[in-house]
Amino acid sequence: MTLQLRVLSVLTIAAVLCVSCGNKSEVLQRFSLISDGEQTAFAQTLATYPMEYDSSSMGVFVKSVNGFSSTKTAYWLYFINSKPVPKAANDYVPAAGDTIEWRLVSGY
Structure confidence by residue, pLDDT tens digits, 30-49: 999 999 999 999 999 999 99
Fold adopted by 10-106 = Ferric Hydroxamate Uptake Protein; Chain A, domain 1 (2.170.130)
| Whole-number Å distance between alpha carbons of 99 and 93 | 12
Dihedral (CA of 40, 32, 79, 46) sign? positive
Is the pTM above the cut of 0.85?
no
pLDDT at 29: 96
pLDDT at 107: 82
Nearest to 61 by CA among 77, 50, 72: 77
Nearest to 11 by CA among 63, 82, 66, 65: 63
pLDDT over 90 (residue 103)? yes
pLDDT at 81: 98
Share of the chain above pLDDT 90, in %: 75
Which amino acid, residue 107? G
